[in-house]
């Protein structure tokens, strides 16, 4: 009987020690830790030079945004003139590229329906 109690107490003590060790550990840090604030900008891509690792984006308000391209594969499916969104770090490096072109989802109105609709001036 004491042998059984000793095993139970030993297991409980071991479990408690493991649990205490896990709880007191600092949280794991991602391998690619990004320090500083991130910025999201969108606009039209005006220039992209993957050889020098630089690009230029014009925002919808007309402001030029110069950025660095640390990873050329981010821009492999992007062409100059495309409307994109960039996630930049505080040093102006592009970390993520997103296509923001809006597909044509609004159907074109049928001319026969538009022609038969009464004018608001006739009312």
Between 94 and 105, whose confidence is greater?
Answer: 94
Distance CA 57, CA 64 (A): 6
- pLDDT on residue 33: 43
Distance CA 4, CA 51 (A): 71
Instruction: Tell me, yes or no, if the pTM score tops 0.75.
Output: no
Residue 70 banded pLDDT, cuts 50, 70, 90: very high
Domains of the chain: 39-99 (2.40.50.140)
Which pLDDT value is given to residue 59? 92
Positive or negative torsion for Cα 9, 11, 14, 20: negative
Compute the average pLDDT of residues 23-33: 48
User: Does 101 score more than 90 pLDDT?
Assistant: no
Range scoring the smallest mean pLDDT among 22-26, 37-41, 88-92: 22-26
Is 105 a residue whose pLDDT tops 60? no
Mean pLDDT score of the chain = 75
Q: What is the pLDDT of residue 37?
A: 79
Residue pair 42/100 in contact (Cβ under 8 Å)? The answer is yes
């Amino acid at each position: 009987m004491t042998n059984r109690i000793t095993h139970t107490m030993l297991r409980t003590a071991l479990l408690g020690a493991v649990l205490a060790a896990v709880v007191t550990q600092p949280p794991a840090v991602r391998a690619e830790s990004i320090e500083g604030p991130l910025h999201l900008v969108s606009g039209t891509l005006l220039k992209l030079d993957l050889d020098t690792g630089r690009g230029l984006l014009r925002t919808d308000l007309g402001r030029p945004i110069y950025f660095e391209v640390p990873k050329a594969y981010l821009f492999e499916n992007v062409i100059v003139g495309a409307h994109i969104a960039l996630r930049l770090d505080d040093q102006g490096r592009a970390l993520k590229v997103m296509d923001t072109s809006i597909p044509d989802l609004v159907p074109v109105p049928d001319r026969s329906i538009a022609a038969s609709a009464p004018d608001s001036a006739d009312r």
